[in-house]
Amino acid sequence: MILYFSSTGNGKYAAERIAAGTGDRVVSLGDAYKSGDFDLSLDPGESLGLILPTYFGVLPSVVADFLEKAELRLTDSNYVYTVDTYGFHYGNVAAELAKILRRKTGREQDADFLLQSVDNWVPNLDLTDETYVQSALDKTDEALPGIIEGIVQKKRVRVKGEWPAPMLLMMKKAYKSASRTKNFTVNDSCVGCGRCAAQCPTRAITMTEGRPRWTKANCTLCLGCLHVCPKNAIAYTKATVGHGQYYNPKTTR
């Protein structure tokens, strides 16, 4: 099984490429979370791949919550690996995941792989910059064959976190603060299609009188709502205005 979380297609593309090389089934964590399906039952000898993004160097809150609720039993016959997708910093995601797995199953993952790709954090990045986007996509395609080979061979490699504990604590606090939904606004070009609400993994958006309304104080901060809007009507603070939208062009929504 390959379980991925992806709001703008990077993790989905990686999962599809890995599945083509391993023959494993692919499961969307976002879809499973929305439907309440927390069953991660594995057959003896089956591998479990976790394709996860890095937000502020930590696990997205929806991923952590899903894994805490998941029905998961692992034996030594199950090869467990992570692929951490990131833009510039991979942070301490692998270490966070290891703690969750150890607490729930008594063991950690066998391997961690790092996969650099397009960073969708538009407050800091101008995604209309085609040179940056193409360069990041090229890095993904250059790295994937080696990752797939490592998974097929069931290599056991671990990644050390980038940051010491004080820095990690600071980044967790920054992530929680940034995830406040009051930072989102929608302008008058909105056509009330509801795509933002439909894609939100935590159901933080409801449609009210044809307009999206963020009804939870915090979200997982995937920015999927901003990137999926057909009119680019959603902004996350003024810093995102004019910075474009992104979805991995090598996969489909």
Q: Would you kindly state where each structural domain of the chain is located, as residue ranges?
A: 2-165, 180-240
pLDDT tens-digit series, residues 156-176: 999 999 999 899 999 999 999
One fold for 2-165 and 180-240: no
**Residue with token string 């395609």:** 141
Residue 27's pLDDT band (boundaries 50, 70, 90)?
very high
Average pLDDT, the chain: 96
**What is the Cα–Cα distance from 86 to 116, expressed in whole angstroms?**
5
Higher pLDDT, residue 12 or 41: 12
Q: Which residues contact 145 (CB under 8 A, 6 or more apart)?
A: none
User: Is 30 strand, coil or helix?
Assistant: helix
pLDDT given at position 70: 95
User: Is 181 strand, coil or helix?
Assistant: helix
Specify the CATH number of the domain 180-240.
Answer: 3.30.70.20
Question: Of all helices (H) and strands (E), which one includes residue 155?
Answer: none
100 token code pair: 């969750």
pLDDT tens-digit series, residues 94-151: 999 999 999 999 999 999 999 999 999 999 999 999 999 999 999 999 999 999 999 9
**What is the Cα–Cα distance from 110 to 91, expressed in whole angstroms?**
19
pLDDT given at position 106: 93
pTM: 0.95
Specify the CATH number of the domain 2-165.
Answer: 3.40.50.360
Contact predicate 100/67, CB 8 Å: yes
- Going by C-alpha positions, the residue among 85, 73, 75 that lies closest to residue 12 is 85
pLDDT, mean of residues 41-53: 95
Nearest 10 degrees: CA dihedral of 191, 192, 195, 199?
140
pLDDT, mean of residues 207-227: 96
pLDDT given at position 73: 87
